């Protein structure tokens, strides 16, 4: 009995200690108010430094806008704040959030918002149904810390999400997040268009493809190239980077990976559990993850959905450029170059999407359209600046091989090329696949290349391409007979 009394005393004492340690009423009072800072991807609002809860007022406007989804391809996006993904929202656990959802008068559709951070039926959707030219107001208290998706939930829900209506809201824990040097916002989503990837012009949404989950585009931050080239993320060696990664879906699960890095920390589903030393992490449709890693060496680190055809053929690719001093102990770069036996010598064929489009009316139009074809088909090997890759893909810039014989250049594009060639004094022995391009596209892409990088400015016409095809066919028929 004495032992049981002691146990009871200890239990009561622990309970008193817990009660005394609980926040006082004064600590749970709402102090003041502030207007939420909202940012477009890849930017993130600054960390919350206050140690008290407040009233946070969020103003978010829905707009339906036509923007480029790829070079030369337009799409009518439905957006939270004018961009895809929607604005990044940052609040603190326990804040009172007063949400103002505005639907621009030019919109054609009613919209609402379902925030996964909201505890309550519909996540705010029922309270925020807003017709064009109107504003809805509701409030909530985020009681669970983490990184949460928000999206439109107006019927047909899938169509609203597929048109770009999603974003992220971060609910910082009361104690805050560990400090890092850089924070970025990356969100994947897929798009379903009437015509195939790269088909120019204004592309409408395809419900049929969406139902089949047959996406034409799988993208980071709403467009091809949103995180590449001049839009690449930036950091320095020695810095720690935190990526807030979301997946709007509406259908596909993402296998998020950064080529050349290992995630030091992955906040599983952006909750409280942390995995360490992770190579690739799953991000479900309608879910998110937070990853952190320290940059040990300089270079360009490639963000991908490691369902890899999505990255290199449908647009789910980004870049993080890290500058700083080399660390040859961590990564030496190439120290040896040996012969590697290729898998086969046959010329490969890569089918490419063809489309019906009026012929270019002048050289300027040819160059513009040729750039589009080059970006979609040629750039991965020959690079954006036409410099190629040493010992692998010959340069197109100032290319003596290209400039010497236009008919040979046409034949190379329409039939492919294998075997040894010498370009600008360097020997190359690789395979250029045959490209299934129309006469118009062959003429346009060659005209673009000839107009760039100090090449000779030759204008190639569809008639020239056709003549080469006809001559080749006649030669083959004569050999057959």
Mean pLDDT by 10 residues, the chain (481 residues): 40 36 54 97 97 97 96 96 98 97 95 96 94 96 97 95 98 96 98 94 94 97 94 97 98 97 94 93 97 96 95 94 94 68 47 60 90 83 84 86 91 85 86 80 92 93 90 72 59
HSE, side-chain direction, 13 A CA sphere, residue 125: 13
| Phi, psi (degrees; rounded to nearest 5) at 437 | -115, 150
In the chain, DSSP finds a helix count (H) and a strand count (E) of 11, 25
Residues 181, 179: Cα–Cα separation, whole Å: 7
CA dihedral 356, 359, 360, 366 (to 10 degrees): 70
User: Which pLDDT score is estimated for 379?
Assistant: 82
Contact 90, 45 (CB under 8 A): yes
User: Which pLDDT score is estimated for 20?
Assistant: 35
Residues 237, 14: Cα–Cα separation, whole Å: 48
* Residues making up the chain, counted from first to last: 481
Task: Report CA torsion sign: 197, 199, 203, 206.
Answer: negative
Structure token digits, residue 404: 């010497």
User: Which pLDDT score is estimated for 64?
Assistant: 96
- Residue 420 burial class via C-beta count within 10 angstroms: exposed 0-12, middle 13-18, buried 19 and up: exposed
User: Which pLDDT score is estimated for 335?
Assistant: 66
Residues 357, 443: Cα–Cα separation, whole Å: 14
Kind of pairing between the strands at 240-249 and 182-191: parallel
- Residue 146 burial class via C-beta count within 10 angstroms: exposed 0-12, middle 13-18, buried 19 and up: buried
Residue the block writes with tokens 């810390």: 145
User: Which pLDDT score is estimated for 141?
Assistant: 97
Residues 367, 457: Cα–Cα separation, whole Å: 11
Question: Among candidates 323, 151, 154, 325, which has minimal Cα distance to 251?
Answer: 151
Residue the block writes with tokens 């992220």: 168
Residues 332, 334: Cα–Cα separation, whole Å: 7
Residues 50, 209: Cα–Cα separation, whole Å: 47
Residues 399, 425: Cα–Cα separation, whole Å: 10
User: Which pLDDT score is estimated for 415?
Assistant: 86
Give pTM, 2 decimals.
0.75
């Amino acid at each position: 009995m004495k032992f049981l009394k002691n146990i009871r005393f200890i239990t009561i004492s622990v309970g008193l200690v817990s009660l005394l340690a609980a926040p006082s009423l004064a600590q749970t009072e709402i102090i003041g108010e502030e207007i939420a800072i909202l940012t477009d991807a890849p930017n993130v609002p600054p960390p919350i430094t206050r140690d008290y809860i407040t009233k946070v007022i969020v103003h978010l406007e829905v707009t339906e806008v036509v923007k480029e989804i790829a070079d030369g391809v337009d799409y009518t996006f439905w957006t939270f704040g004018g961009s895809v993904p929607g604005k990044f929202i940052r609040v603190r656990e326990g804040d009172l959030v007063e949400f103002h959802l505005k639907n621009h008068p030019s919109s054609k559709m009613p919209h609402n918002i379902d925030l996964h951070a909201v505890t309550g039926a519909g996540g705010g959707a029922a309270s925020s149904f807003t017709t064009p030219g109107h504003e809805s107001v509701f409030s909530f208290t985020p009681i669970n810390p983490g990184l949460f998706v928000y999206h439109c939930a107006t019927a047909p829900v899938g169509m609203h999400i597929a048109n770009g209506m999603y974003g992220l809201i971060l609910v910082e824990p009361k104690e805050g997040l560990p400090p890092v040097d850089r924070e970025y916002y990356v969100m994947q989503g897929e798009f379903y268009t009437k015509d195939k990837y790269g088909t120019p012009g204004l592309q409408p949404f395809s419900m049929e493809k969406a139902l089949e989950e047959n996406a034409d585009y799988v993208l980071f931050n709403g467009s091809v190239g949103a995180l590449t080239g001049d839009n690449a993320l930036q950091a320095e060696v020695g810095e720690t980077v935190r990526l807030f990664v979301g997946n709007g879906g509406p259908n596909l699960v993402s296998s998020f990976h950064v080529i050349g890095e290992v995630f030091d920390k992955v906040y599983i589903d952006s909750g409280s559990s942390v995995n360490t030393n992770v190579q690739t992490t799953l991000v479900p449709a309608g879910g998110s993850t937070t990853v952190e890693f320290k940059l040990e060496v300089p270079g360009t680190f490639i963000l991908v959905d490691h369902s890899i055809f999505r990255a290199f053929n449908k647009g789910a690719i980004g870049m993080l450029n890290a500058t700083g001093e080399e660390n040859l102990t961590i990564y030496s770069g190439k120290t040896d170059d040996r012969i590697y036996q290729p898998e086969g010598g046959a010329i490969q064929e890569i089918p490419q999407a063809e489309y019906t489009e009026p012929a270019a009316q002048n050289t300027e139009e040819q160059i513009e359209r040729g750039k589009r074809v080059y970006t979609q088909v040629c750039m991965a090997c020959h690079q954006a600046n036409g410099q190629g890759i040493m010992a692998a893909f010959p340069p197109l810039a100032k290319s003596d091989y290209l400039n010497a014989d236009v008919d040979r250049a046409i034949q190379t594009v329409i039939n492919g090329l294998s075997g040894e060639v010498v370009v600008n004094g360097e020997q190359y022995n690789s395979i250029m696949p045959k490209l299934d391009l129309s006469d118009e596209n062959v003429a346009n892409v060659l005209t673009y290349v000839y107009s760039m990088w100090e090449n000779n400015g030759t204008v190639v016409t569809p008639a020239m391409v056709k003549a080469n095809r006809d001559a080749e066919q006649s030669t083959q028929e004569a050999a057959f007979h």
